[in-house]
Structure 1
Amino acid sequence: MKKFYFFLFAIICVWTGTAQDYDFQKDAFAHTFSIVARDAETGEMAVGVQSHWFSVGSVVPWGKSGVGVVATQSFVNPAYGPQGLELMEQGKSATEALGILVSQDPGKEYRQVAFLDANGRTQAFTGAKCVEAASDITGQNFSVQANMMLNKDVVPAMEVAFRSHADLPLAERVLKVLQAAQQAGGDIRGKQSAAIIVVGADKVENSWEDKKIDLRVDDHDEPLKELERLLKVARAYEFMNRGDLAMEKNNIEEALTQYGQAMKMFPENLEMRYWTAVALANSKRMNEALPLFHSIFEEDENWREMTRRLPNSGLLNVSSEEMNQIVNKK
């Protein structure tokens, strides 16, 4: 028992050490600009971030549907993510949760952290030893924060961008904020990686249902441009997923509508063209399906073999004659 109390005392001594004693160099080095935000209409919550550091999306953004989101940066203490979400899930506000963790952190003066809870309440903390230019601005449904910036204009520009794009879906709105930060000067070192996550308004039963959007650019000359491209692709595949669900329910017309929307966004994408062709064939619109199938096969023969395999899975319901028309024309 004495050994246990000695061990516990040792842990407390380490945890309650002073900032002067704290070795900040052991922490992840993610100086960056970020936003935590909530859509007042949908209740969705998001984190967006860019940095001149590899894979910033693996350390800064945290979120849980129906609970809140966290951005932990500067000299990163990753515990703020899961522990902050746990405190908010227990009913603590963003202010209460962040206050508890900051008060216990011996390295707090090197931290920059922002919390947002499911009610849109926000709280941010920028430690005194964060590298200039470092600041944060908080408001209902958003907090923007940055450190190691080229100038002091970055954070105000982020706030303006958030307030100016309320008409956009949350992920696109967050992207506008990141772009505004970069245009205002951004990270003094340049740019390398970026990420956006979006979680839902309501708690989910399964952890794999948590993130509605989870996009990362780990290493790129233009991370925000690449993130913008990936977000567009993600939106197109949302239409694809809806089309797949409609196909499962044998709602061919709805599937055609959804696949068609995806194909309009990326007409050069073979996957999107292919499932549009399948939906057309299943709805007996062979005159429209056949040119699509044949153009796809000309680009990649593997799709022809793929088509032969679909009837056994119930995904393509055509006659033998129609199948011959699809796969045998060269």
Structure 2
Amino acid sequence: MTYSIVARDPDTGELGVGSQSHFFGVGRLVGWAEAGVGAAATQAFVNVDYGPAAVAAMREGQPPDVIVDALTGADPLSRYRQLGVVDATGRAATFTGGSCAPHAAGLTGDGVAVQGNMLAAASVVPDMLAAYEDAKGPLADRMLAAMRAAEDAGGDVRGSQSAVLSVVSGVRGPTPWRQVLVDLRVDDHPDPIGELERLLPRQRAFDVIGGVIFEEGLMIGPYAGVTPEELAAKLAGLADASELLGPDNREADFWRAVLLARSGSADEARTLFADLFAYRPALREFLAGIGPLGFLPGTKEYL
């Protein structure tokens, strides 16, 4: 019911899983990953247990081919399953049971496994692998290029409905939930791959915003400990995020105005706030509400 990819970036160690299916909410079924450990995709007439079990086995140091053999060998219905696994060293394995609905296939490359079933054409899986291997840039972009190639080759024979794209850090540690770099799910959409392509840069824009508004000194509490270089980089990042988000989403502009005011650029802040209040008058009340919380002493001069 699905095509998927699991991959490891050889330069950063990042691990990822991506999938598309004509099934609602494929992200809650197919993809499993843990920072510095590995990633797995379980699909076809899916046994969801394969996913967390594969990650747990990789955490113990077992290689992907052994994991795949063990999980499928213990499952009396494995002939209806598919499983792709890649670990933190780049070892990869894939399995396609003999009773998976055609077209069905799986391939591995250097640090990557791709698999699919119920596909519109036999070329879907090899096109996925070729697109991934030819793509440049961050791991998420290369995986998304692979899924776009799969879709362009025909994708799921039943059509498109949901998709998931997840990337975690290559660093293994005690708080893996802090090392989730990309976590995008499209549960019900006529073009889920197109939606992932739209959402990925927006997540990155909001990562920039979060890197400002969640930081003590920079935005939370008294303005302190911020170097001129850091301030310039944060303001430039917010400006870039604003351009990407477009005129209908002024989140980056609002916090850029607050940061300008906090850092002493009152005239620039005042001009930007005036533009924001004209765009959305309720932002004036919002600023008045957060000022006394320590975000912007002297808020009244900007209202």
- Normalised to the residue count of structure 2, the TM-score between the two structures is 0.92
RMSD: 1.5
| Aligned partner of 1:292 among 263, 272, 277 | 272
| Aligned partner of 2:143 among 165, 171, 174 | 174
Pair 1:324 & 2:300 matched = yes
The residue aligned with 2:194 is 225
Q: Which amino acid aligns with 2:153?
A: A
| Aligned partner of 2:245 among 266, 273, 277 | 266
Q: Which runs of 5+ in 1 are unaligned?
A: 1-30
Pair 1:247 & 2:219 matched = yes
Pair 1:143 & 2:123 matched = no
The residue aligned with 1:315 is 295
Q: Which amino acid aligns with 2:138?
A: P
Q: Which amino acid aligns with 2:86?
A: L
Answer with 215-224 or 196-205: which moved more: 196-205
Mark the structure with the bigger radius of gyration.
Answer: 1
The residue aligned with 1:95 is 65
CA deviation string 1:220-275 (max 9, x = no partner): 01111111111111010111122233434742444323322312322422211100
| Aligned partner of 2:162 among 193, 205, 211 | 193
The residue aligned with 1:37 is 7
Q: Is the 8 A contact 2:128 2:146 kept in 1?
A: yes
Other structure's SS at 1:35 match = strand
Cα separation, 1, equivalents of 2:246 and 2:165: 25
Cα separation, 1, equivalents of 2:8 and 2:165: 13
Answer with 53-62 or 267-276: which moved more: 267-276
Percent identity reads 39
How far does residue 188 in structure 1 lie from its aligned partner after superposition? 0.6
The residue aligned with 2:75 is 105
Cα separation, 1, equivalents of 2:65 and 2:7: 15
CA deviation string 1:259-299 (max 9, x = no partner): 22312322422211100111111122222222221222223
Cα separation, 1, equivalents of 2:179 and 2:46: 23
Other structure's SS at 2:45 match = strand
The residue aligned with 1:183 is 152
Other structure's SS at 2:141 match = helix
How far does residue 307 in structure 1 lie from its aligned partner after superposition? 1.0
Other structure's SS at 2:219 match = helix
Q: Is the 8 A contact 1:65 1:201 kept in 2?
A: yes
| Aligned partner of 2:41 among 67, 71, 80 | 71
Answer with 192-201 or 284-293: which moved more: 284-293
Cα separation, 1, equivalents of 2:130 and 2:177: 34
- Normalised to the residue count of structure 1, the TM-score between the two structures is 0.85
How far does residue 207 in structure 1 lie from its aligned partner after superposition? 4.5
CA deviation string 1:24-64 (max 9, x = no partner): xxxxxxx1111001111100000011111111111000001
Cα separation, 2, equivalents of 1:209 and 1:144: 27
Other structure's SS at 1:187 match = coil
| Aligned partner of 2:178 among 201, 209, 212 | 209
How far does residue 210 in structure 1 lie from its aligned partner after superposition? 4.0
| Aligned partner of 2:97 among 116, 127, 146 | 127
Q: Which runs of 5+ in 2 are unaligned?
A: none
Cα separation, 1, equivalents of 2:175 and 2:61: 20
Cα separation, 2, equivalents of 1:308 and 1:204: 41
